[in-house]
Structure 1
Amino acid sequence: MTTTPVPTYRLRGLDILGFGSQEEFLDELFADGRVKTGLMIAFNAEKVVVCDRDPALRRIAEQAAYTYADGISVVRSIRRKYADGLPRIAGIDLWQAMMSRAGRERIPVFLLGARAEVLTEVERRLKDEWGVDVVGGQDGYFDDDQRDAIFERIRRSGAAIVTVALGSPAQEIFMHECHQVYPGALYMGVGGTFDVVAGYVKRAPAGWRRANLEWLYRLLSRPARLRRSGRLVVYAFYHFTNRL
């Protein structure tokens, strides 16, 4: 359990928790020998803008148990607005640290999302490298009429951590709906993390990450993302005109 209250910062009416480090966040999630429950939502510039336009996603974000600054743009906005040296907590790094701890503490994990071959490789790596107790998995290619059955599978699995790699906002919607059926787990949306961990997508080199340019590397290496870059322009407008 954290010894001091975690500060909360507001951007566009959204609350973002200001953990001082990834380790502090992990200690909170795994405090008292048990995993916390509820939804975890990572905020980057794009998600802040989408929440402005998508009332359903905003409601889910407002109800989430844990929100954090995954994108460097969000970190810089908080620093600008609050004069606070908040660190970035990258979702992929946080997830891997969570899986490492889950393996050490024998905490059951359910994996959902990505292609079947990607999911298989992620499960293999988690078991082989960290000894994670993977109690179930489901690829991301399922029909809406299968959702209830998947929710029930997750409930029956007894997973304490459910990680969902569907991309936003699909993963947040899935987590919210599944949480209604099975509230006894911690749900984390992980976007394209499974593809990176399985080796199907290359992560930005360390130098790009140290320079806080991982977002640019993703844009340049995956041109399909360029069609979403307009949201970054909107966010930059918010940031530089003090509308956050």
Structure 2
Amino acid sequence: MSNSSVKPPYNIRGVPLYGFSSLSEFTDFLLPPQHPRCGMLVAINAEKILTAEQNPQVQQILSAAEFNYADGISIVRSIRKKYPGSKVTRIAGVDLWYALMQSAGQKCIPVFLVGGQAEVLQYTGDKLRQQWAVPVAGTQDGYFTEQQTEGVIRAIADSGAKIVTVAMGSPRQELFIRRCREIYPDALYMGVGGTYDVFSGRVKRAPLIWQKMGLEWLYRLIKQPSRWRRQLRLLRYQKYHWLGKL
């Protein structure tokens, strides 16, 4: 499906962004009845905006990605401030992946899973098949070498997968997706970070009440105090927000 006529409606600090009023609305947009949209999904939060401003490679990735979406509550609040009346809700990458996988099972859309540890990936693939009847076309753990990359990309292309999710951390996963798309553009690609660990139960997500309040970042900080430097860095983004430099 061509995306040329579909333009992201929002822009924060030079990054084009999609925003939707619900998770289901975004899922339906990405997986219309005829064919899944093709392109790269990138979850955008305040940290990624700041990283892009200091790293030209990341800035290039975000500028080229077809489907940047508001994953962080700070980004949602900035959209609402810059675009009064916009009905944008936070869509967490984990929740979006769950929704896409459920839809893939319902619509028989083949999926390829990349990244993570071998045992986690195996469990994730098996659970997807059992829980939602997802047609998993192939898997590849994240421990392949540069010399093996071309073969991994060829396996993805040969599988015929229409959704490819990559869990290798940012920006490595986005860089891999960019290379993969050069050879196999006919798929929807999504960087998913630690989502397989959450799905497999190895990592516990914040309680639902924390999620609804937009405080998952605080829950992670409490669980991992070493993240405080990352959170302190985000004060610069808050300055952008309050001064209206969006």
Name the TM tier (shorter chain). over 0.9
Which residues in structure 2 correspond to 1:24-43 (within 5 Å)? 24-43=25-44
- Name the structure 1 match of 2:161: 159
Tell me, yes or no, if structure 1 residue 218 matches structure 2 residue 232: no
Which residues in structure 2 correspond to 1:67-146 (within 5 Å)? 67-83=68-84, 84-146=86-148
Q: 1:207 aligns with which of 206, 209, 212?
A: 209
- Name the structure 1 match of 2:151: 149
Tell me, yes or no, if structure 1 residue 13 matches structure 2 residue 18: no
Calculate the TM-score normalised by the size of structure 1.
Answer: 0.94
Residue pair 1:45, 1:231 contacting (<8 A) in 2 also: no
Residue pair 2:69, 2:91 contacting (<8 A) in 1 also: yes
- Deviation per CA, 1:124-163, whole angstroms, max 9, x where unpaired? 1101100011111111122222111111111111110000
Which SS does the other structure have where 2:11 is aligned? strand
Report deviation, 1:223.
3.2
- Deviation per CA, 1:194-234, whole angstroms, max 9, x where unpaired? 11001110000011112110111112212343342243122
- Name the structure 1 match of 2:234: 232
- Name the structure 2 match of 1:178: 180
1:108–1:58 distance in 2 versus 1, CA, 3 Å: same
Which SS does the other structure have where 2:234 is aligned? helix
- Deviation per CA, 1:44-96, whole angstroms, max 9, x where unpaired? 11111111111111112111111110110100111112223311111111110
Report deviation, 1:6.
7.0
Report deviation, 1:33.
2.4
Query: After the TM superposition, which of the residue ranges 219-228 and 117-126 deviates more from structure 2?
Result: 219-228
Residue pair 2:116, 2:142 contacting (<8 A) in 1 also: yes
Q: Distance in 2 between matches of 1:109 and 1:184?
A: 12
Q: Distance in 1 between matches of 2:9 and 2:68?
A: 9
- Name the structure 2 match of 1:44: 45
Identity %: 49
Alignment gaps of 5+ in structure 1: none
- Name the structure 2 match of 1:64: 65
| Residue-pair matches, total | 241
Residue pair 1:21, 1:89 contacting (<8 A) in 2 also: yes
1:225–1:141 distance in 2 versus 1, CA, 3 Å: farther
Residue pair 2:112, 2:139 contacting (<8 A) in 1 also: yes
